[in-house]
Amino acid sequence: MKNNIINSSKAPAAVGPYSHSVLANNVLYVSGQLGLDPVTGEMQATVEEQAEQALQNLGEILKEANMSYRDIVKTTVFLKNMTDFVAINEIYGKYFSENPPARSCVEVAELPKGGLFEVEAIASKQE
């Protein structure tokens, strides 16, 4: 089975040599999404704004693959500061209020473009 590259014109352009996502064997692997405005390419100011924007960007990629947040089975969240964990959970919970996916959350030394939040996901279409 061939892997399909899925990019969305409604999500910010990749900041490196990678695709927004790859669909392989009915599983969608979504690259990390930062809090970049898809129109201006500018980073949102606060960690809360970045989280909201990154999750919206993730949603646009899911739509392009004919999927939704409900199809996500695993996410990985990268935070510049673990002290933002509680604030991030509140925002994240709006997108995953029922049957949330498995998740890892790690603090990292640095994110691209000086980001404070990044999220990557794995989704599988529910039949």
Instruction: Tell me the C-alpha distance between 71 and 126, whole Å.
Output: 6
11: closest CA among 67, 69, 58? Answer: 58
Catalytic residue among 48, 105, 122, 124: 105
Residues 24 and 3 sit within 8 Å (Cβ to Cβ):
yes
CA distances to 8, 13, 119 from 87, rounded to whole Å, are: 28, 27, 15
105 is catalytic: yes
124: closest CA among 56, 23, 33? Answer: 23
Residue 108 DSSP one-character state: -
Phi, psi of 4, rounded to the nearest 5 degrees:
-110, 125
Active site residues: 105
